[in-house]
Structure formats: structure tokens, C-alpha cells
């Protein structure tokens, strides 16, 4: 799997796609946090924390991650190279994991430079270092887990169609619905006691829980289960070609 993983990662980093992904992610975050006169502006807010960053980043990833995952399988299906790929002496699941891990690695590479935001807020605080290090650390873990979940959704969306555009649209919808949509449904009183169910199924509830500075085992189980469900669903879709 290592060779396949490195091949997929190189496909991102040896082309302009990966750098566009990283660049847009960093530029948009920087503009909202430091330039735009908006409620997310840290300098205008006067509070030494990164809550605005951890609120904006998942929204940006909902758009960007589908853009890098949309061609994972859809393009290979369209060109017919997927059959050649599956003739390799590795399992379907190994191929899926290689593509998945390459996508997660690209998300991680994009997040790492934002540590400069933490350093800046740390130095700007009065007194210096007033920022909540524990909550910031767990929030970074939460953001990476959210990115990992969205990559799994994107890979799945790419496996069910031969069109990159269709895969992108489906992936954006699924990512939005699972991150924000279910949380929005929970506010409607018509659903009664189902609001708790909707919140617990959605990503937002568990992401906000981790942001509080404590990593709950239940949240970790949720994120791992979420990723496994979509990876196994992708595997099921690809195996169906043999039926």
C-alpha cells in the first residue's frame, strides 16, 4: 500500500492541484482572520483565541476537499484505467485506503502552516501566552478529524459516478449536510425528540465537543466509525462492478 499511497500523494504534489488546494485554504483563512472587517477578524475582536479559525476552516474544507477527491475514482472509471488499477496484486480496500490517506495527508499539510496563527495570537495576547493551549491543541485534532471525515465522503462520492462534476456536487452536498445540515434540522421543533439523534449523527456536535479542550472517547469512536462506514461503502460500490 505504501507505493500506492506515495503515488497518490505525488499526484497531488507534483501537479498544481495540491498547491491550489493548500494556497486557497491558507489565503481564505488569512483574509477572514486578519484582513476582512468581519466578526471573524481576530484583531477587531480583541480576544486572544482561534475560535474564528476553527469555525471557518471546516466550511472552507467542505468546498475544497470535494475538489481534490472528485477525480479519485470517477476519472479512472471514465477513462477505463480503473480496470488496470484493479489488476494490481492488491485488494480493492488497499487501493481505497491509499487514495484516502493521500487526501488526508494533503489536508494535514494544509493545516500545519496555520500554526503561525497560534503563535501570532500567543504573542499578541495580554499577557503574552493567555491563549488556551489545551483547547487550541484539541481543536487542531478536531479539525484534522473533520477533514479526514470529509475526505472519506469525497472518496465515496467519486466512486459512484464517472463524472468529476457530479462527484463534486454530490460530495459538497453530503459534506454540508453531514457537517451543518443535520445540526440545522435539529432546531426544528417538529422533529421532537429526534433533535438529539440528528445532532449526534452530525459532525458538528462532536467537533464542538472536542473544541472544549477535552477529547472524549465517544467523539473519537464517532469519527473513526464515520470514516470506516464511508470507506467500507466505497469498497462495496467498487466490488459491485464484479456482480
Give the pLDDT confidence of 28-61 residue by residue, as tens digits. Answer: 999 998 888 777 777 776 666 788 899 999 999 9
The rounded distance, in Å, linking the Cα atoms of 27 and 46 is: 22
DSSP type of residue 179 = I
What range defines the domain where residue 221 resides? 2-242
Phi-psi region of 181 (alpha: psi -120 to 50; beta: other; left: phi over 0): alpha
pTM reported for the whole predicted model = 0.92
Res 74: pLDDT: 86
Res 128: pLDDT: 67
| 124-130 own/partner pairs: CB under 8 Å, 24+ apart | 124/42, 124/48, 125/48, 126/48, 130/48
Residue 138 grid cell = 484539541
Number of domains in the chain: 1
Residue 8: pLDDT band (50, 70, 90) is: confident
Amino acid at each position: 500500500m505504501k507505493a500506492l499511497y506515495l503515488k497518490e500523494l505525488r499526484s497531488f504534489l507534483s501537479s498544481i492541484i495540491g498547491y491550489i488546494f493548500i494556497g486557497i485554504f491558507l489565503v481564505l483563512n488569512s483574509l477572514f482572520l486578519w484582513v476582512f472587517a468581519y466578526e471573524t477578524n481576530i484583531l477587531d475582536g480583541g480576544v486572544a483565541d482561534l475560535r474564528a479559525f476553527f469555525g471557518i476552516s471546516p466550511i472552507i474544507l467542505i468546498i475544497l476537499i470535494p475538489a481534490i477527491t472528485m477525480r479519485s475514482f470517477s476519472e479512472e472509471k471514465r477513462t477505463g484505467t480503473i480496470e488496470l488499477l484493479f489488476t494490481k496484486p492488491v485488494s480493492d480496500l488497499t487501493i481505497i485506503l491509499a487514495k484516502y490517506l493521500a487526501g488526508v495527508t494533503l489536508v494535514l499539510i494544509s493545516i500545519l502552516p496555520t500554526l503561525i496563527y497560534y503563535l501570532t495570537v500567543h504573542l499578541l495576547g495580554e499577557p503574552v501566552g493567555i491563549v488556551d493551549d489545551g483547547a487550541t491543541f484539541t481543536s487542531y485534532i478536531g479539525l484534522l478529524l473533520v477533514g479526514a471525515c470529509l475526505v472519506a465522503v469525497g472518496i465515496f462520492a467519486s466512486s459512484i459516478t464517472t463524472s468529476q462534476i457530479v462527484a463534486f456536487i454530490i460530495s459538497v452536498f453530503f459534506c454540508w449536510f453531514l457537517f451543518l445540515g443535520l445540526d440545522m434540522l435539529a432546531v426544528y421543533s417538529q422533529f421532537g425528540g429526534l433533535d438529539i439523534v440528528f445532532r449526534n449523527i452530525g459532525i458538528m456536535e462532536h467537533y464542538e465537543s472536542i473544541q472544549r479542550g477535552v477529547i472524549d472517547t465517544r467523539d473519537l469512536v464517532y469519527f473513526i466509525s464515520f470514516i470506516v462506514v464511508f470507506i467500507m461503502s466505497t469498497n462495496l460500490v467498487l466490488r459491485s462492478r464484479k456482480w
